[in-house]
Amino acid sequence: MPGGYSKLDFPDHFDGERFYNPGAPQARGLRDVLRWKLTSRPERSPRFVPDVEPSIAPRSVDGRGADGATLRITLVNHSTVLIQQRGVNILTDPIWSERASPVSWAGPRRRRKPGVAWENLPPIDVVLVSHNHYDHLDLDTIRRLAARGGSRFVVPLGVGRLLRSENIGPVDEMDWGDALPFPRRENAAGFTVHSVPALHFSSRRFADWNRTLWCGYVIECGERLVYFAADTAFGRHFADIREKFGPPHVALLPIGAYKPRWFMAAVHMGPDDAVRAHEILGAKTSIAIHHGTFQLADDGIDTPERELAACAPRDSFLILNNGEFVEFG
Mean per-residue pLDDT pooled into runs of 10, the chain (329 residues): 46 90 89 86 95 96 71 98 96 98 93 98 98 98 98 98 97 96 92 96 92 97 94 96 96 98 96 98 98 98 98 95 96
Q: What is the pTM of this model?
A: 0.95
Contacts of 246 (CB under 8 A, 6+ apart): 2, 225, 282
Helix (H) or strand (E) holding 36: helix 30-39
From the list 203, 246, 272, the residue with the least C-alpha distance to 33 is 203
Rounded CA separation 323/219 (Å): 22
Tally of CA atoms within 13 A in the half-sphere of 206 that contains its CB: 6
Domains observed in the chain: 51-328 (3.60.15.10)
pLDDT for 8 equals: 38
pLDDT for 64 equals: 67
Rounded CA separation 83/303 (Å): 26
DSSP string, 40-95: --PPP--S-----------S---S-STT--SEEEEEEETTEEEEEETTEEEEES--
Rounded CA separation 108/89 (Å): 28
